Amino acid sequence: MRQIIIDTMAPILWVLTIFDAVSIFRMFRAYKRHKVSEISLLTGILCLGLFYDSLMLSLGAVLPFGSVLKFLSQFRYILHCVLIPLLFPICGHALKVSKKTMKVIWIISIVIMVIGLYAGISVVTEERTVGRIRRYAESDLTNKLRIRSSRCWISYRYSS
């Protein structure tokens, strides 16, 4: 079963990429026509990151390892780190929190996005291949940032 998944991974990723692109197009078109709220716009922006992620993995089936794939992969990590915090405002809109709470959520999200930008730029990648998919994945040399606040914790390990 595992081998079947590995063998069919590249075509499945292309299907996901096309699905993401169509979803993004439809969300932005609906937003432009004023048929949806901010939550749809934010979800569309988040979907852009998912689209880019699946596109980069799909291109790994056709692009060789090298500077182009490495650059595109690095940008993939930056998008992940910057866009994932959009889930907080999306949830705030979905829960219909007060404007004051929404401002706090946005401030926290932006702080996390800035930290995420630094983390995405700091990712050290290495070549990995799964099936026919070539990609640059996070290496053990990457700095690890954990935030400590009451029950969570911060530690920062420098790459060697």
Lowest mean pLDDT: which of 6-15, 24-33, 59-68, 147-156?
147-156
What is the Cα 55 distance to its own chain's centre?
12
DSSP result, 64-79:
PSSHHHHHHHHHHHHH
Q: What is the rounded CA–CA span in Å between residue 90 and residue 4?
A: 36
| 152 pLDDT more than 60 | no
Its domain, for residue 108, covers 2-157
Number of domains comprising the chain: 1
pLDDT tens track for 79-111? 888 888 988 998 898 888 999 999 999 999 999
Average of per-residue pLDDT across 126-136: 81
Q: Is 126 helix (H, G, I), strand (E, B) or coil?
A: strand
Q: Is 97 helix (H, G, I), strand (E, B) or coil?
A: coil
Q: What is the rounded CA–CA span in Å between residue 50 and residue 151?
A: 30
When the pLDDT of each residue in the chain is averaged and rounded to a whole number, the result is 78
Average of per-residue pLDDT across 1-19: 76
DSSP result, 10-56:
HHHHHHHHHHHHHHHHHHHHHHHTT-S-HHHHHHHHHHHHHHHHHHH
pLDDT tens track for 13-25? 888 888 888 888 8
Q: What is the pTM of this model?
A: 0.69
Q: Which residues of 73-104 are buried (b: 16+ CB within 10 A; e: fewer)?
A: bbebbbbbbbbebbebbbebbeeeeeeeebee
| 149 pLDDT more than 50 | no
